[in-house]
A and B are shown apart, each in its own frame.
Chain A
Amino acid sequence: MLFQYFKLSWRNLLKNRQFSLLNILGLSSGLAIALLLLLYIRDEKSFDQYHENVDRIQRICLTMNYDGNERKVTTAPNSIGPAILENLSGVKDQVRTLNHNFGDIAFINSGEKQISTRHLIWADPSILNIFDIPLLNGTKNEVLSAPGKVILSDRMAKTIFGDEDPVGKRIKIDQYLDVEITGIYADFPQNSSMNPEIIGSFNTMEWASKELVWSNASFETFLLLEQGTDSKLLEQQIEGLVARNVAQEDRYYSVWLQPMRDLHLHSTEMQFTGAVVASKTGDSRQINLLLILALIILGIAATNYMNLSTARSLAQSKEVGINKAIGAHRSHLITRYYVETFLLVGISMIIAALLIFTILPFFNQVVDKQLSIQDVLSPKIIISSLAVGGVLTLLSGLYPALYLSGFQPKFLLNTSFRKQSTAGNFRKALVITQFSASVVLIVGTIVCYKQIQFIQQKNLGFNPEQVIAISTAAAEDIGQIESLRDGFSSISSVEAIARAQTYPGKGGSGRSIHIPGYPEKVLPVTTNQVTPEIVEVLDMHIIAGQTLPQRSHKDDPFCSIILNQKAVKFLGYSPEEAIGKEAPGLFQKPAIITGVVSDFHFNSLHQPIGAYAFHNNFTEGRPYMLVKTNTSNISDLLSQLQTAFKKSLPHSAFVYEFLSQEIEQLYAGEKRTAKVVLLFSILAILVACLGLFGLAAFTSEQRRKEIGIRKVLGASIAGLVQLLSVDFIRLVFIAILISVPLSWWLMHTWLENYAYKIELSLWYFAAAGLITLLIAIQTVSFQAIRAAISNPVKSIRTE
C-alpha cells in the first residue's frame, strides 16, 4: 500500500509542477539554512570537549571588586595553583600558564629566519597531563622539565624549519631569550579555545616562577580534579585558603571555578589575558539566537508547505471524496498525505544537501569558521539532519493530513462542487505569522546595521585614523629604538611619533586610585605608560594643564600622569583644580597630575567610559611605536616604514597594526551577527513570498470563474487586480501591526547590551513594513494580473 501511495504522490508532484517547485524551493532552502545553523551550533558546542579530562578540568577565575564595580578575569596569582595542590584534597594536578608579554607579539629568531607570533605561552609541565596535547616528538616528562625548554606545534615547526627535524635546535625569543626545542606537538584542533604555537617551560620565566605571590593575577590556571570532587565545595575551600594567606584589606578579589565545558560559550563577560584568547570565545546568547532563527526558518518552511497544500484543497477534496467512496478509512488518507509530505521533504533534503555543499564556503566566510564537507557528513550531523527532516515531515504533514482527510465524500454526487474554500482562517493566520517573522527580521537587520554604523561613527574622543602601531618589542637595546625613531621622523608623511605600552582598544594595566584621605573609596583605572607625544599622535583633547614631561630618571621621587575627566571627577576635582595634585593609590611613588583630557572610548562601546591614566612611571615597557601619518598612499608609506625598521632593527620582524582596524575588531561579533541576521531576513522573506506567491496563484485559479464573469460584466483589469490583491495585502498589514511592538521589544532588549546606543526611531519600523508590503504586493499582483488579463470566455467555459 505504501508503494501505491509513493507512486500516487510522485505523479501528483509531477502533475502540479508549480506547486511542487514552490514547495521544494521553500523546504530545501529552509532545511539548508537550518542545517547549516545546526552545524555551526554543534561546532561551537564542541569546543574543548575533545580533552579526555574535560569534565574534571576547572579554570580558576577571579572576580575583582572595586567599590561596587566588578570585573571578572580568567587569570589568577601564581601562588594559588600550587597552594591548592598542596593544601586541598580532591585536586590531582594544576597548571599555570602565562601569555608571553601578556599576549603581545613575540619575536622568534632562528638563524636568518624571523617570525612573530602572539601564541607563545609559558606553562608548567603538567599541561601535557591535564590537556590532550599529543607529542609527535619528545617525551612527556622531559620536554618541559627545565628552564629554557620549549616545544613547538607541528605547524610552527614547519614554518620555522620546513622539513628539518627541529628537536635539539635553539631559537631566540625577543632577542634575549635563548631556548632549546625539545619536542613537537600536534596542532591544536580548530575547536580548541587554547591555541599556543609555542609552549615554553614555566620556570624559564624567573620572575613568574621563583617568587609566589597572591597579588599579581597574570596566570591562567587550570585544575585537574580527582574523580568525584565537588567543585562547589572546593570553591569554598579555596576561598578559605585565600583568606588564610591574604590579609583582609589586600583581598580585592574572590576566587571561583569555571568548568572547562563552559569555557567557550560562557565567558563573554570576562577579561582575557591568558592562553585562552577573547577572539576565540563564543557566546551562548548568540547560539540561542541562532537556534531560534533556525527554528523560525524551519517554521516558515513548514508553514509554507501547509499553506500551499491546503490551498490546493479543492483539487484534493475530490480525490479524498473518491477514495472514501470506494472504501478508504481516514487513516488510509492520513498515511497517503504523510507519504506525500515525506516524499517532498525527502527531495528537499537532497537538494538542501547540495545547497549546503555549494554555499558552505560562503557561509564559512560569514560566520568566520572553517566547516568542511567532512563535518557535514559526520554521523551525528546526518542523524540530526534526518531527525530535522522527520520533525519537519511530521509537522508540515500534520495539517494537510488531518484537514484534507476530513473531507466528506457526499458532495461527489452533486452536480457541482461547493465553491468556497475552507480553512481560510488557518491559512490567513499562517501568512500573518510568516510575514510577522519577516518584518521582525528586517527590523533586526536595520537596527543591527544602524547600531554598528553608530559605533563606528561615534566620536571616540580621539582619532585612530592614520595611526599605525609598530611593535618594537624585539629591539635589542635602546639605541635601536632611538635610531628607529629618527628613521621614522625623517619620513615626510610622518607627523608625530609616540612610544606606548598599549593603545586604546587594546586594554592596558589595571590599577586603582582612591579619593584623597579615603583609601577604601577606590576606582579602577586603566593605565598606559607613554611618551609625551601621545596627545598629539592620538589627537586627544586637553582640557586643562599639558602633556607629560619627558621622563627623567628611574629614581625620581614622583612620576607624572594625565587623567581623563572620569578619573578627575572621582577624585573630586575640577580639571583646572586637578593640575599639580596627586592621584593617590596609583603607584608606590606619588603620581602628579600634569594634564586632563576629555573622556574617550578606550574600550568598546559595550562598556561605559572608565577612568584612564597615561603615565611616565618606569613600571611597564613600551613595546609600541605609534606613528601618526598624513598620507593617502599607505602602501608607499608602509614600505618606507619597513625600510627604516629593517635598518634599525635588522633582526626583528616588521609587525604593524592600524589602530582604526584594531578598533573595528572590537565589533567583529556584532558585524558577524548583523551579517547572519541579514542573510536570514532575505531568506525568510524569500520563503514567505514563495508561500504568498503560491497562495495567490491558487486563489486566482479558484476564482477564475468569478473573474471571468466580472470581466464579462465590464470590470477593468486594474479593478480585478485590486480585488484579488486586497485580501492578501490586508494580511500583510496585520502582520506589520503585530510585528512592530514585538520587534521594538526585541531590539530594545538587544540594545541594552550597549552603553552607547541608537534610539529606536519610527522609520526603522516604517521601512521594514514598507519593504515587506512592497515585496508582498509585487508577489501577489503578479498572479492577480495574470488572472485578470486571461480570456474570460475560456475561464467561464471550463466550468
Chain B
Amino acid sequence: MIKLEKIYRWYQTGSTRNFVLRDINLEIEEGSFVSIMGPSGSGKSTLLNVIGMLDQADEGSYTFMDQDVFRLKEKQRVELYKKHIGFVFQAYHLIDELTVFENIETPLIYQGYKGSERKSIVSDMLDRFQIVGKKDLFPNQLSGGQQQLVGIARALAGSPKLLLADEPTGNLNSRQGEEIMDLFKKLNEEDKVTIIQVTHSEKNATYGNRIINLLDGRIEQE
C-alpha cells in the first residue's frame, strides 16, 4: 500500500542543511497497524506528514496504492488523500464553530456526497461511537475523550483505507486513552482499516502489530 524509498527531508539554514528525515525506506502492507516511535525531534511528525501527503520530501520517491505521489499534481494528490486517508490529531482539531454533527459531516461535503447520503453516514457514525446524544453540541462542550471520538468519527466518515493518527491519546487521561486505543484495534481488526500512529507511549505501541523507531531522522530498528 505504501512504499517509501530513499526519502530525505531537510531544512536549509544558511549554508547548512538540517536533516529531518534521512534515507527512509519503508513498506507498509494494507491492513497493518503501525506505531512510529522516537524521541522529540526525531522526525515522527514529518514522516507522518509525508505519508499523509501534507508535506513533500526533498528527495526520494513515495508510492501510495500504485501511484507515484510526488509526481501527481496538487489537485490529484488532494483527490487521492481525501478519498483514502483520514487524520486524527493529538489536539483533536475540531472546528470550534461547528457542532459534532457538522464536524463529522464536513469531509463528506468536500467529497461531494449529497445531503441525504451525508445525513445517513453521519448518523451511522454517531451510532457507532455512541455519541448520538452529543450531536448538537459544540466541541468546547465536550470532554477531551469525547472530542477525540468525534475526531475519529470525522476521520472515518469517508471510509478511508488508511488512518493516520498523531499521538491520538497525548492529551487524554489513561482511561480515555485506553478506550481510544481499543477502538483503533477494533477498527483495524474488524474493519480492516490500515492505521499508522505516532506515539510516545510503549503501551500504546503494543496495540499495533509493527513498531518503527526513529532517531535523528533515521529508522533505527524494527
Contacts and interface: CB of A to CB of B under 8 A. Distances in A.
Interface of A: 1, 4, 7-8, 11-12, 15, 318-319, 321-329, 332, 408-410, 412-415
Contacts of A413: 45, 48-49, 52, 54, 89, 166
A323 B75 CA distance: 15
B184 interface: no
A327 B96 contact: no
B208 interface: no
Contacts of A318: 93
12 contacts: A8-B95, A11-B98, A12-B97, A322-B93, A322-B94, A324-B78, A325-B52, A326-B82, A327-B81, A413-B48, A413-B49, A415-B90
- Main secondary structure, interface of A, reads helix
A649 B7 CA distance: 109
B111 interface: yes
A11 B81 CA distance: 29
Contacts of A319: 95
Interface size bucket, B side? 20 to 34
Given A15-B97, A415-B90, A325 B54 contact: yes
Given A8-B97, A11-B97, A329-B75, A410 B106 contact: no
A326 B88 CA distance: 10
Interface of B: 45, 48-49, 52, 54-55, 75, 78, 81-82, 86-87, 89-90, 93-98, 102, 105-107, 109-111, 154-155, 158, 166
B110 A327 contact: yes
B78 A323 contact: no
A326 B110 contact: yes
A324 B82 CA distance: 9
A4 B109 contact: yes
A328 B109 CA distance: 9
A327 B166 contact: no
A16 B175 CA distance: 35
A409 B166 CA distance: 14
A12 B52 CA distance: 29
Nearest to B104: A326
Contacts of B102: 4, 7
Nearest to A4: B109
Nearest to B44: A413
A327 B107 contact: yes
Contacts of A408: 54-55
Given A327-B81, A329-B78, A412 B110 contact: no
B185 to A, nearest CB: 22
B54 A332 contact: no
B109 A410 contact: no
A617 to B, nearest CB: 87
Contact of A410 (B55, B93, B105): B55
Contacts of B86: 326
A256 B136 CA distance: 77
Given A15-B96, A325-B52, 10 more contacts: A4-B102, A4-B106, A8-B95, A324-B78, A326-B82, A326-B110, A326-B155, A327-B111, A328-B110, A413-B45
Contact of A323 (B81, B95, B105, B158): B95
A325 B158 CA distance: 13
A414 B49 CA distance: 10
Among B49, B90, B94, residue most surrounded by chain A Cβ atoms (within 10 Å): B49
Contacts of B52: 325, 413
